[in-house]
């Protein structure tokens, strides 16, 4: 039967409306969202990993593959009460779209009114949810998506809230906040959240092998009492890589026909940069990049997925410079020297022991970094000179003096041991990613995700 002319024109108008919708500011619909956060990954960490990947490993970053789609935004991230932010405020702003005060998690500026997060909105829509990190799963970044506490240090409450909200996949370190004191944990309420999770139907795993074998719809992976190992040290542990965790997470969450929201964090880029440890920073950024590759492959197989890659803030004021110790020629950063590093500064400083002699310092540095520092340089480390010169910006014992002594060898400098106000990138692919262009405040990332899910409108 032929449609009558009036109905035909209505149908035509409707079709036109659908075609014009994106131009009118209505975001494209996404079934699922993968949000990836490189904690502490400013443009300089990204750039260092790009140089290392191309010049040492001979391959392009997966993040560059995403960026080349042309959807990249310049992102600023100031908090309500500070120009230099930290993970709790930054993640809360990304998760809720509200500019908040420092150190509170998932709370309005009054520090006591919970803000609804993108994960909670997805949950209300019947979607599955996940949080994955190499830091603690109770650390500020994952916490801000599924919990609400006055101060980020309240990780005991974060752990119970994450399970109470019913996040389907939780993976990372800091098992200590899931176990009672009697079992070697930090919980003062006597609860064993791992046991409770098992009763709620979670598969609970603690090693890379157990993770491989896990199946079902809910997964709690706790791989370390503290943070997971730095990537550079990981081979000595039974811990999975961030890419392995990402792959398993996507496999589990993709079972829900209503889609999912997941936040996957490279949590230790920040920690390595706090220690001014260039090799560990680059390796953890590359581990994050590998996880981005897993997400990108998923996004390509499931084009109705919005993939966003960003950071919460820059850490350390990292800078690669060109001049060497004995020449003013631009001789390039010491990538081949960085390549030889076998251990994180944590391992190295641990091996120095208490009050190390310059000889001991020279021996340990040579063993793990293949660098022969001079006796004079070893004395700077032994006396912890840099910390004495600027004790607030460089407060970790020995680490920053070591980093300063290594400057001429690695040709990597650090402005501070804390965060900086450096702007960031956000880039992505899939429906909604067309919004990731130009100049954005990190609070707008929430609006972009919410728009893509068409929730709460």
Just list the catalytic residues. Answer: 87
Can you give the length of the chain in residues? 457
Residue 140: C-alpha distances to residues 85, 90, 444 (Å): 12, 9, 19
Nearer to Zn ion (CB atom), residue 172 or residue 259: 172
Six-digit token string for 127: 């979607």
Nearer to Zn ion (CB atom), residue 129 or residue 224: 224
Nearer to Zn ion (CB atom), residue 39 or residue 444: 39
Min dist. Cβ of residue 270 to Zn ion (A): 4
Nearer to Zn ion (CB atom), residue 78 or residue 270: 270
Element (H, E) at 6: helix 5-20
Nearer to Zn ion (CB atom), residue 401 or residue 417: 417
Q: Does 314 bind Zn ion (CB under 5 A)?
A: no
Min dist. Cβ of residue 371 to Zn ion (A): 26
Q: Which residue is nearest to Zn ion (CB)?
A: 270
Min dist. Cβ of residue 418 to Zn ion (A): 7
Which residue's entry shows tokens 């997400």?
295
Residue 98: C-alpha distances to residues 107, 123, 219 (Å): 9, 19, 30
Min dist. Cβ of residue 236 to Zn ion (A): 24
CA separation for the pair 89, 94 (Å, rounded): 9
Min dist. Cβ of residue 273 to Zn ion (A): 8
* 173: CB partners within 8 A, 6+ apart: 133, 134, 135, 136, 137, 222, 223, 224, 225, 226, 227, 228
Six-digit token string for 112: 């006591």
Q: What angle do CA 426, 432, 438 make, to 5 degrees?
A: 45
* C-alpha 262: how far from chain center: 12
Binding flags for Zn ion, 233-272, as an x/- string (CB under 5 A): -------------------------------------x--
Residues in contact with Zn ion, counted by CB under 5 A, come to a total of 1
Residues 100-119 that bind Zn ion (CB under 5 A): none
Min dist. Cβ of residue 315 to Zn ion (A): 5
Whole-number CA gyration radius for the chain: 23
> What is the 8-class DSSP label of residue 182?
G
Residue 246: C-alpha distances to residues 163, 254, 265, 346, 409 (Å): 19, 12, 10, 26, 35
Nearer to Zn ion (CB atom), residue 120 or residue 270: 270
For residue 264, how many other CB atoms are within 10 A of its CB? 30
Q: Which residues bind to Zn ion, rule: CB under 5 A?
A: 270
């Amino acid at each position: 039967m032929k449609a009558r002319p009036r109905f035909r024109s209505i149908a035509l108008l409707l079709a036109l409306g659908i075609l014009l919708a994106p131009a009118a500011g209505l975001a494209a619909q996404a079934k699922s969202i993968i949000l990836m956060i490189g904690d502490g990954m400013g443009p300089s960490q990204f750039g260092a990993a790009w140089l290392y990947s191309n010049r040492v490993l001979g391959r392009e970053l997966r993040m560059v593959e995403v960026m080349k789609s042309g959807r990249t935004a310049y992102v600023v991230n100031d908090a309500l009460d500070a120009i230099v932010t930290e993970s709790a405020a930054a993640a809360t702003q990304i998760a809720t779209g509200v500019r908040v005060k420092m150190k509170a998690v998932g709370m309005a500026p009054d520090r006591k009114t919970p803000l609804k997060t993108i994960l909670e909105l997805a949950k209300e829509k019947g979607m599955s949810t996940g949080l994955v990190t190499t830091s603690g799963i109770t650390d500020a970044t994952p916490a801000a998506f599924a919990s609400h506490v006055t101060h980020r240090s309240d990780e005991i409450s974060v752990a119970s809230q994450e399970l109470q909200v019913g996040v389907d996949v939780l993976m990372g370190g800091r098992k200590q906040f899931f176990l009672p004191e009697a079992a070697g944990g930090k919980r003062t309420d006597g609860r064993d959240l791992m046991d409770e999770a098992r009763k709620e139907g979670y598969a609970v795993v603690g090693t890379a092998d157990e993770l491989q074998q896990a199946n079902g719809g809910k997964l709690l992976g706790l791989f370390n009492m503290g943070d997971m190992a730095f990537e550079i040290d990981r081979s000595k542990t039974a811990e999975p890589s961030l890419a392995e965790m990402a792959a398993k997470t996507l496999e589990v969450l993709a079972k829900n026909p209503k889609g999912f929201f997941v936040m996957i964090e490279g949590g230790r880029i920040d920690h390595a940069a706090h220690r001014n440890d260039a090799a560990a920073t680059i390796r953890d950024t590359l581990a994050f990049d590998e996880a981005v590759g897993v997400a990108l492959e998923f996004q390509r197989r499931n084009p109705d997925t919005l993939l966003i890659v960003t950071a919460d803030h820059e850490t350390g004021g990292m800078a690669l410079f060109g001049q060497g110790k004995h020449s003013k020629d631009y001789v390039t950063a010491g990538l081949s020297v960085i390549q030889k590093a076998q251990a994180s500064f944590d391992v190295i400083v641990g091996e120095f022991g208490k009050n190390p002699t310059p000889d001991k310092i020279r021996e340990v540095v040579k063993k793990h970094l293949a660098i022969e520092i001079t006796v004079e340089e070893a004395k700077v480390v032994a006396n912890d000179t840099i910390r004495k010169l600027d004790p607030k910006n460089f407060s970790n014992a020995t680490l920053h003096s070591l980093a300063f002594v290594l400057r001429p060898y690695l040709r990597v400098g650090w402005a501070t041991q804390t965060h900086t106000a450096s702007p960031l990138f956000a880039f992505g692919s899939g429906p909604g990613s067309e919004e990731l262009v130009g100049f954005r405040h990190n609070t707008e990332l929430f609006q972009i995700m919410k728009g893509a899910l068409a929730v709460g409108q």
